[in-house]
């Protein structure tokens, strides 16, 4: 048997105390670092949404939802028009409205809530969910009931991946809410933070096509859920879109797309866009990753024409 002398015991205790002290310093450092990251995340969150509800109690009808989902390619189930816009945006001018056809996952709820403020026309969105993120549908139904602008514009569809050996797509049912809109808004931030993203691969092309198929008009502006359109784009593009996209010729109306550096203000008109570009804060979309696939010639001429006239014009470009 090895007998430890008093010096060895004291040395062991000293080493143990030093290790405990270092562990406490390490924990304190990570705690401070986490608090700093949380603070940065709070600063980067989008501004609070200004809801268009005029007063608490002005809300849509409470209803039970029951939708028979449809099978797609033996892999997905789709629920069309889970929530439907109350306005058609069909006006006396006889022009076909331009629907914003977009798609998102449940963890993009901030961007989904902002869409009615960015698009003055019908919106059709496909939301991909799974078992873990299905509570986003209940949350969206509450927004649809309590926010007038959301209810006027937004038509919401959803899709999820079928379970193994699942023969048929199920009937989706959601009972009406017992909350008042005042109660919903009081817990809005908590409910939104409880929504997580799906733990599955995201079928972006499928969701884009669901938004198009479920749109309430025949002309669609296809956009990813995190894009921000320019000011009054929906109304400005409507006349020329009706002229070019006639359902007969094989033509599409393509727009210029840009990306802005993180932290910089996103310009929503051509004057602010040009200023931001000159300051090297805004660039053509994917200019570093795949410029050939996104670049459109004549950018300087486009800026000059935009500076001289507010009239929307087009230039034919051959598709290579």
Residue 59 binned pLDDT confidence (cut-offs 50, 70, 90): confident
- pLDDT of 18 reads 67
Kindly provide the b/e burial profile for residues 259-297, where b requires at least 16 CB atoms within 10 angstroms of the residue's own CB. bbeeeeeebeebeebbebbeeebbebbeeeeeeeeeeee
115 against 31, higher pLDDT: 115
Return the residue matching tokens 């991909």: 128
**In the structure encoding, which two tokens stand for residue 231, read together?**
């000011």
Report yes or no on 137 lying in a domain: yes
272 has a pLDDT exceeding 70: yes
Residues 291 and 206 in one domain: no
In this structure, are 203 and 138 located in the same domain?
Answer: yes
Alpha carbon 237 to chain centroid, angstroms: 22
Domain boundary among 231, 264, 287: 231
- Same-domain check for residues 146 and 280: no
Same domain, 92 and 141: yes
User: How high does pLDDT run on average in the chain?
Assistant: 85
* Cα–Cα distance, 296 to 315 (Å, whole number): 10
Whether 125 and 159 share a structural domain? yes
Same domain, 277 and 226: no
Q: Is residue 282 part of a domain?
A: yes
Examine the domain organization and report whether 222 and 173 are in the same domain.
Answer: yes
Last residue of a domain, one of 231, 265, 292: 231
Contact indicator for 283, 299 with CB cutoff of 8 Å: no
User: Is 38 within the bounds of a domain?
Assistant: no
Mean pLDDT of 257-262: 92
Number of domains into which the chain is organized: 2
Residue 57, C-beta contacts closer than 8 angstroms, at least 6 positions apart: 180, 181, 182
What pLDDT band is residue 319 in, cutting at 50, 70 and 90? Answer: confident
Residue 315: which H helix or E strand, with range?
A: none
- Residue 249 in any domain: the answer is no
Question: Is 11 part of any domain?
Answer: no
**Residue 60 pLDDT level (bands cut at 50, 70, 90):** confident
Q: Is 47's pLDDT higher than 90?
A: no
Do 226 and 282 share a domain, yes or no? no
Residue 16 to residues 9, 20, 29, 152: CA-CA distances in angstroms?
11, 6, 20, 66
Percent of the chain with pLDDT over 90: 58
Beta-bridge partner residues of 71: 77
Residue 241 lies in a domain: no
Q: Are residues 190 and 292 in the same domain?
A: no
**The last residue of a domain, from among 182, 199, 231:** 231
Q: How far apart are CA 144 and CA 132, in angstroms?
A: 22
Residue-wise pLDDT for 144-158, tens only, equals: 999 999 999 999 999
Looking at residues 99-123, what average pLDDT do you find? Answer: 94
Query: pLDDT tens digits for 294-311?
Result: 888 889 999 998 888 888
Across 69-73, 139-143, 165-169, least confident range:
165-169
For residue 36, what pLDDT is reported?
A: 46
Q: What is the DSSP letter of 239?
A: H
Across the strands, what pairs with 72?
76
Q: Write the burial class of residue 215 (CB in 10 Å: 0-12 exposed, 13-18 middle, 19+ buried).
A: buried
Lowest-confidence range among 37-41, 154-158, 194-198? 37-41
Residues 88, 190 within the same domain = yes
79 & 222 share domain: yes
Considering the entire predicted model, what is its pTM?
A: 0.78
> 42 pLDDT band (50/70/90 cuts)?
very low
Give domain status of residue 19, yes or no: no
- Domain span at residue 299 reads 254-307
Is residue 113 included in any domain, yes or no? Answer: yes
Question: Does 207 share its domain with 123?
Answer: yes
Above 80 in pLDDT, residue 35? no
Q: Cα dihedral angle (217, 91, 306, 233), rounded to 10 degrees?
A: -50
């Amino acid at each position: 048997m090895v007998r430890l002398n008093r010096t060895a015991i004291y040395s062991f205790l000293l080493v143990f105390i030093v290790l405990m002290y270092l562990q406490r310093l390490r924990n304190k450092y990570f705690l401070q670092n986490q608090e700093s990251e949380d603070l940065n995340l709070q600063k980067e969150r989008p501004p609070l949404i200004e809801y268009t509800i005029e007063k608490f109690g002005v809300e849509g009808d409470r209803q039970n939802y029951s939708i028979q989902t449809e099978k797609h390619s033996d892999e997905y189930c789709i629920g069309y028009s889970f929530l439907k816009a109350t306005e058609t945006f069909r006006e006396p001018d006889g022009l076909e409205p331009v629907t914003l056809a977009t798609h998102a996952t449940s963890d993009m709820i901030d961007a989904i809530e902002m869409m009615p403020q960015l698009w003055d026309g019908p919106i059709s969105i496909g939301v991909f969910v799974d078992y873990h993120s299905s509570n986003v549908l209940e949350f969206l139904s509450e927004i649809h009931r309590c926010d007038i602008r959301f209810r006027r514009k937004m038509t919401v569809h959803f899709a999820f991946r079928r379970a193994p050996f699942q023969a048929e797509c199920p009937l989706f049912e959601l009972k009406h809410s017992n909350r008042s809109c005042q109660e919903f808004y009081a817990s809005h931030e908590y409910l939104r933070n409880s929504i997580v993203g799906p733990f599955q691969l995201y079928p972006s092309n499928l969701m884009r096509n669901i938004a198009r198929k479920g749109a309430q008009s025949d002309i669609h502006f296809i956009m990813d859920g995190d894009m921000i359109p320019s000011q009054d784009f929906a109304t400005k593009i409507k006349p020329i879109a009706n002229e070019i996209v006639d359902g007969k010729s094989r033509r599409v109306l393509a727009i210029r797309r840009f990306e802005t550096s993180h932290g910089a203000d996103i310009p929503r008109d051509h004057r602010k866009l040009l200023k931001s570009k000159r300051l090297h804060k805004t660039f053509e979309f994917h200019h570093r990753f795949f410029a050939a696939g996104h670049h459109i010639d004549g950018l300087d001429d486009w800026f000059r024409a935009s500076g001289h006239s507010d009239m929307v014009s087009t230039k034919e470009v051959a598709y290579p």
